[in-house]
Amino acid sequence: MIDGVIFDKDGTLFDFRRSWGGWAQTLLRRMGRDADHAATMARAIGFDLETGVFSPDSPVIAATAQDIAAALAVHLPGQSVAEVARQINEAAAEAEMVPAVPLRPLLEALRARGLRIGLATNDTETPARAHLAAHGLTDLFDFIAGYDSGHGAKPGPGMCLAFARATGLDPARVAMVGDSLHDLHAGHAAGMLRIAVLTGIATEADLEPHADVVLPDIGALPGWLADRAA
């Protein structure tokens, strides 16, 4: 029996490629002295500035803004990691997120089943809340946390366990849903069921050994829950 679901944000609720490719292009061109400088910074974070494609090991996929800033600050003399992270977070809050599936109907259907719903992202909490609010979703979440919310970052279990505490749920009856190994490792460390989706960069082959199930996207979640209950 599953009583709660905690979602990753980028690559799970929102399609990673369509949401973050434009953000990265805008940010890097804004920060770069010229096209060559912007392209150099793009390579430092595993991103092709021209095609808008992320490499599988890009820190943008699952790391924190601080990690991304550390990679970029090397190429920005005179700017601290904290200053670069501030610019990243400001741009992230303005990024236009593209839902992986129609989100409000899905989340309402899950709540109608009696499930509690949480968000655990390695983004910072302020942009995460802005992205949910922009799509009219905030009221459907019982818990929202970013890596700066005081529970640590994934793959640590802190955010997942904080959701269980906040809702009074047994972690063993909660599912962690995400598109990256960070998500699945966090769920495993918290003692939760692990549901992988393929709306990020990782492939089914990457995720399947670490997941209890791999779904094409979160739109398949209600059907899978129904089959499991039966």
Gyration radius (Cα) of the chain, Å: 17
Q: Do the beta carbons of residue 62 and residue 183 sit within 8 Å?
A: yes
Q: How far apart are CA 228 and CA 150, in angstroms?
A: 34
Q: What was the pLDDT predicted at 92? A: 85
At 181-229, the pLDDT tens digits run 999 999 999 999 999 999 999 999 999 999 999 999 999 999 999 998 8
| Averaged pLDDT for residues 75-79 | 94
Q: Do the beta carbons of residue 157 and residue 185 sit within 8 Å?
A: no
Give the number of other CB atoms < 10 A from CB of residue 98: 16
β-strand 53-54 against 47-48: which pairing, if any? antiparallel
For residue 142, give the nearest of 132, 154, 151 by alpha carbon.
Answer: 132
pTM: 0.86
Q: What was the pLDDT predicted at 63? A: 82
| Averaged pLDDT for residues 166-178 | 98
> pLDDT band for position 230 (50/70/90)?
confident
Domains and CATH numbers, the chain: 4-15+97-229 (3.40.50.1000), 17-94 (no CATH)
Q: Which residues pair with 118 in a beta bridge?
A: 6, 143
CB burial readout 119-150, b (16+ within 10 A) else e:
bbbbbbbebbbbbbeeeebeebbbbbbbbbbe
> pLDDT band for position 38 (50/70/90)?
very high
Q: What was the pLDDT predicted at 61? A: 86
Q: How far apart are CA 143 and CA 140, in angstroms?
A: 9
Q: Which residues pair with 193 in a beta bridge?
A: 175
Q: What was the pLDDT predicted at 62? A: 81
Q: What was the pLDDT predicted at 148? A: 95
